[in-house]
Structures are given as C-alpha cells and as structure tokens.
Amino acid sequence: MMTEPKYDELEENNPHLDKDKPYPLSGLLVVDFTHVLSGPTCTRMLADAGARVIHIERKTGDDTRHMGPYIEDGSSEYFRICNAGKESIALDLKDPKDHALVEKMIAKADVVVENFRPGLMKRLGFGTDEMVKKYPKLIFASISGFGQYGPWSKQAAYDTIVQAVSGLMDATGTPDGKPTRVGTSVSDVVAGIMGYSADCTRCS
C-alpha cells in the first residue's frame, strides 16, 4: 500500500499558488459524466482552474476506483489523481428520480462533459441537441476516440487501441522489434487536454 500524500501541506507550501487571486473558471458549474481517464483528465483540469465539478458515477463507482495503486485506506490513487478537486455522486441514470435530479443539475450547469460511446447520452435522455436546445447557454463537450459520426464512431477507443491504429506503437521500441505501447496512456491524456482547451475557449 502507498502512503497518502499530504495534499494540504503540498498546497500550503506551493510557491506558485496565490490564493488571493481568483481562479479563471471560478463560479462555473460542470456536470461531469466522464469515466476512466480521457474525460476525467479534462474535468480535473476544469476543477484545477476553479470550476465546481460534480462527477456523476455509476452505482458501482467509476472503473478507476478499482484500479491500483492503492493507498493505506484502500482507495485508488489512480482515481484520486483523475478526480482531484471534484464532488462525486453515484446515480442510476435509468431511475426516474435520479434522472430528474441530473436534469436539474444540467439546468443550472455551464458545462457538461461526457466520454461515453456516441449515442449513449441520447439514449439516456441527455443528448447534446436536446440539452443545448433546452438550455442555450450550455457548453456540451463529448470526448470520443473516433468522433461522433462515421464508420468507426461506435468502436471502443481504449488508449492502447488508439496508440496502435495511429501508428504510435510502430514508432516506439527498437527498430527490429515489435510495435510497443508507450508506457503512459498518452492518447487518453492528450484527448483530455484537448477537451479542456476546447471548453476553456468556449467559456472565455
């Protein structure tokens, strides 16, 4: 087990953090439907910039809650890194009461971020077109591996798959060796960063 970092001390001793200055996204509300890495990277950066981010999880929790490494209290450090600075609530989006609660949250939100397979949010009753029409000020960001349309849009897009089809794995490793996965999930992280920058461009 890992020892939990002393986050309060790290924050207090950070010479680059000036709490007297407002964060750039202070006052914005983000409803976060994301899971695993690409989407949570985006919304964690929004939280880092001062937005209030409410992370909606399944009843069983985000997948990363069950991924190591784990700290002394048994919680996932992977999950904590991806979701630092957020609030979290577990809901069943197919339950009418939970569905109604989420609708109320979206009505008050400035930004919605999701990274499900294309079409799932619409089937749940929270499709982009419907939500933006009902709430015109809403910024709705969808992160996907192969876009929202086209022949590959429904395909799963885990980081390793994207590294393979993009040719990144072929460019990694030794010249005469097999294609090699980059150690970190660089495709997911870059997707999250691009989602964050797109959201911030709209917010500004």
Radius of gyration over alpha carbons of the chain, in Å?
Answer: 18
Residue 92's φ and ψ, nearest 5 degrees, are: -105, 105
For residue 65, which amino acid is it? R
Question: Nearest 5°: CA angle at 100, between 108 and 45?
Answer: 45
Q: pLDDT tens digits for 56-100?
A: 999 888 988 988 889 888 889 889 889 999 999 999 999 999 999
| pTM of model > 0.85 | yes
Determine which of 1-5, 29-33, 133-137, 189-193 has the lowest per-residue pLDDT on average: 1-5
pLDDT reading at 2 higher than 90: no
Q: In 3D, which of 113, 120, 116, 129 has the Cα closest to residue 195?
A: 113
> Is the omega angle on the peptide bond into residue 5 within 30 degrees of 0, that is, cis?
no
- pLDDT average, residue stretch 130-157: 92
In this structure, of 22-31, 34-43, 66-75, 183-192, the range with the lowest mean pLDDT score is 66-75
Assign 9 a pLDDT band (cuts: 50, 70, 90): confident
**Any catalytic annotation for residue 199?**
no
From the candidates 62, 110, 188, 199, give the one annotated as an active-site residue.
Answer: 188
Domain architecture of the chain: domains with CATH: 24-154+188-203 (3.40.50.10540)
**134-147 per-position pLDDT tens digit:** 999 999 999 998 98
